């Protein structure tokens, strides 16, 4: 492991932990949400960037498809499913 300029080495898990969603990240992207949704989203292990992408797909999937973007897969698709189910339950 390389250490330069007095910086502490980072393990892969420490870097992953720093990138995973927090309740604050979720609130910043989705606005106010219930605790169950927050927990479901955090359990995916997704990042804030993945959540932002999922939120964009939930709110404008046709526009993104018209731009030629491929439908999401992996964690982004998982996040979309969680968010969409939550929105359906609100009505």
For residue 54, the tally of other CB atoms under 10 A from its CB is: 26
For 8-64, what is the HEC assignment? CCCCHHHHHHHHECCHHHHHHHHCCCCHHHHHHHHCCCCEHHHHHHHHHHHHHHHHH
pLDDT reading at 52 higher than 80: yes
**Average pLDDT of every residue of the chain:** 81
Supply the pTM of this predicted model: 0.72
Compute the distance between CA of residue 63 and CA of residue 11 in angstroms, rounded to an integer.
39
Task: Please compute the mean of the pLDDT values over residues 2-8 and round it to a whole number.
Answer: 46
Convert the pLDDT of each residue in 10-46 to its tens digit.
445 445 445 789 999 999 999 999 999 999 999 999 9
More confident residue, 90 or 55: 55
Q: Residue 1: what pLDDT?
A: 43
Q: Which residues neighbour 52 within 8 Å (Cβ) at sequence distance 6 or greater?
A: 29
């Amino acid at each position: 492991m390389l250490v330069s300029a007095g910086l502490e080495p980072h393990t892969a898990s420490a870097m992953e932990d720093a990138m995973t969603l927090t309740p604050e990240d979720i609130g910043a992207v989705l606005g106010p949400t219930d605790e169950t949704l927050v927990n479901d989203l955090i359990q995916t292990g997704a990042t804030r960037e993945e959540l932002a992408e999922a939120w964009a797909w939930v709110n404008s999937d046709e526009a993104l498809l018209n731009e030629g973007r491929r439908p999401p897969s992996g964690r982004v698709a998982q996040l979309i499913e969680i968010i969409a189910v939550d929105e359906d339950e609100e009505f």
